[in-house]
Homo-oligomer: A and B are copies of this chain.
Amino acid sequence: MADCQEDGSPDLTPMELYEMLSAQGEKVRGLKSEKAAKTEIDAAVQLLLKLKIDYKKITGQDYKAGCPPTDIIVSNSNGPAVEDGNDQVDPWNVSTTSARGVDYDKLIVRFGSSKIDQQLIDRIGRLTGQIPHRFLRRGVFFSHRDMHQVLDAYESKKSFFLYTGRGPSSQAMHVGHLIPFIFTKWLQDMFDVPLVIQLTDDEKYLWKDLTQEECHRYAVENAKDIIACGFDVNKTFIFSDLDYLGTSPSFYKNVVKIQKHVTFNQVKGIFGFTDSDCIGKISFPAIQAAPSFSSSFPQIFNNRKDLQCLIPCAIDQDPYFRMTRDVAPRIGYLKPALLHSTFFPALQGAQTKMSASDPNSSIFLTDTPKQIKNKVINKHAFSGGKDTIEEHRNYGGNPDVDVSFMYLTFFLEDDEELEKIRQDYTSGALLTGELKKRLIEILQPLIADHQNRRKQVTDETVMQFMTPRKLDFHF
C-alpha cells in the first residue's frame, strides 16, 4: 500500500518546506550566537537561501518566519488533482492547510463513500455483542462502502475475510502506522474471520530509490511490528509481493484478469499517472486490487471464489479500491467492502506529513520512554494552548488543533476521561503541560508493550505467518 505516512519523497509540500525553512533559520541564528566558524555559518546561510527560493517557487509567496503557507497547494504529486479547497488526498499525497486537518465530510462527498453513522456503529455493537472500538466511537474510521451488506451476510451466517496492507518503504514504523492494524485485529477478534495482509515491497521498489532486497527486508521487519499487534497466526496470512506473486499462479491469473479490464486512461484518471511513468507503476494497481478476491488465495480459502472481502484502510488508499470495485463485476467477482480511517496527525500539526526520515515528526515504535517524553513536551507536538499560563487560564486552549489531544482520541480508551480533558482544556482548567503529561502516560506503556511483544516475534513466527496455508475459520 502506498500510504501517506511514510518516508520523505523529494516532493515537499509547502508546509514541509516551511518547516525546513523555520528549522534552518533557527540553525543559522544558533551558529551565529555560538560564534561558529565562518565557513559553517556561510554553508547554513547558503542552504537557507536555497530553501527560500524553492519556497517562493512552489507557493508563489515569500517566506515569512512565523507565517505558515496558506491557501495554495502546489504539488509535484504523481496523483491527480483530487483537491477540494485546501485538501489533497491520494495514495501518495495528503496535504491540507487547515490545522484541524483534512475535511473528512467533504471527502465522503467527493469520493462517493458513505459516512459511518451512529446507526452503523450501533449495529456493529449489536452484532458483535461488544462496545464498538474507540476508533468507531470517535470517527477515526469514519467512512465505508457496503459495510451494511457485509453485516447482512454475516447475520445470515455468511462469513467474509479481511484484507489490509502496508507499503514497506522503511524499517521505521510509527504509531500512526498501527492504526489500521489495531482496528483490523479488533475486527478479526470480533467477527472471527481470516485476514490477509499485503506488504507491497514491489510497489516501494517501483516508486522509491531502493533495491528489491532493501524493500523485501523492510517488508519482513514491518511484518514483525504487525505481528506484534497480536494477530492470530491461525487466521492470518502476511505476504510480501516479491515473494508471494512468484508462488501463486492463482494470484497471477487474477492480476492479469484485472489488467485486461483497466485501461491506461482509467489509471491516469484515478492515480494521475503520466506517459513518463514506468510501466511497473502503471500496472501496479492490479497487484493491490488482486487480494480483494478470495480466488487469489485458493490454498487459504479452500478454493472458494465467493467470499466477500472487507478492507480496513486509510482513506488515501480508496482510489485503488474504487478501481477494484469497478472491475470486480466485469470479471465475475464480488466488490470488496471498505472501512476508511482518517489520517494520523504529525506531531507538528495535522496539516503536515509524518516522515520516517524526520524522527521528530512522530512517535516511533522504537522510541524509548525518554524520547517519547521529549518529543511530546519539547514543542515538537503542536499545541492548541496559549502562549502563557495566564492567557491559557483566561481564554482556554483549542483541542481541535492540539496534537496531544488528537493523539489522546486515538489512544485513550476511557470516553469519559477524554471528554473531561476536552472540557478542561477548552475552559483553561487543564494546562498544555498537564495534557502532554497525560499523553506521555498513555504512550510510554503502549510503546513499551509493543516493544516487548515485538521482541517475542521470532524468525520462525514470521515464517509461520508468511507461509501460504489453509487458515482456520468457520463457514
Interface residues of A (CB under 8 A from B): 202, 205-206, 212, 242-243, 245-253, 256-257, 259-265, 267-268, 273-280, 282-283, 285-286
Contacts and interface: CB of A to CB of B under 8 A. Distances in A.
Contacts of A251: 246
18 contacts: A202-B256, A206-B260, A245-B245, A246-B247, A246-B248, A246-B249, A246-B252, A247-B247, A259-B283, A262-B279, A263-B276, A264-B279, A265-B275, A265-B276, A268-B275, A280-B286, A282-B282, A282-B283
A250 B212 CA distance: 11
Nearest to A262: B279
Contact of A249 (B245, B279, B285): B245
B242 A253 contact: yes
B285 A283 contact: no
A260 B245 contact: no
A310 to B, nearest CB: 25
A269 to B, nearest CB: 10
A26 to B, nearest CB: 38
B242 A252 contact: yes
Nearest to A243: B249
Given A245-B246, A248-B246, A264 B275 contact: yes
Contacts of A274: 264
- List of 10 A-B pairs having minimum Cβ-Cβ separation, nearest first: A246-B249, A259-B280, A283-B283, A246-B252, A279-B283, A265-B275, A245-B252, A264-B275, A260-B280, A246-B248
Contacts of A245: 245-246, 249, 252
A28 to B, nearest CB: 39
Contact of A246 (B250, B264, B267, B278): B250
A206 B256 contact: yes
A279 B265 CA distance: 9
Contacts of A285: 279
A163 to B, nearest CB: 19
A60 to B, nearest CB: 29
Contacts of A259: 206, 278-280, 283
A432 to B, nearest CB: 47
Contacts of A257: 212
A212 B253 contact: yes
A105 to B, nearest CB: 33
A285 B280 CA distance: 11
Nearest to A268: B275
Which one of A205, A256, A267, A273 has the highest number of Cβ atoms from chain B below 10 Å of its Cβ? A256
A263 B275 contact: yes
Contacts of A273: 264
A202 B274 CA distance: 25
Nearest to A249: B246
Contacts of A252: 242, 245-246, 252
Given A246-B248, A247-B247, A247-B249, A280 B256 contact: yes
Nearest to A280: B259
A253 B242 CA distance: 6
A57 B251 CA distance: 43
Given A246-B245, A248-B246, A278 B253 contact: no
A205 B282 contact: no
Nearest to A250: B246
A268 B275 CA distance: 9
Which one of A242, A248, A259, A262 has the highest number of Cβ atoms from chain B below 10 Å of its Cβ? A259
B267 A279 contact: yes
A278 B250 contact: no
Contacts of A246: 245-253
A206 B252 CA distance: 13
Contacts of A265: 275-276
Contacts of A276: 263-265
Contacts of A264: 264, 273-279, 282
A212 B278 CA distance: 26
Which one of A245, A257, A285 has the highest number of Cβ atoms from chain B below 10 Å of its Cβ? A245
A274 B265 CA distance: 9
A313 to B, nearest CB: 21
Given A247-B249, A263-B279, A279-B283, 4 more contacts: A202-B256, A245-B249, A247-B247, A259-B280
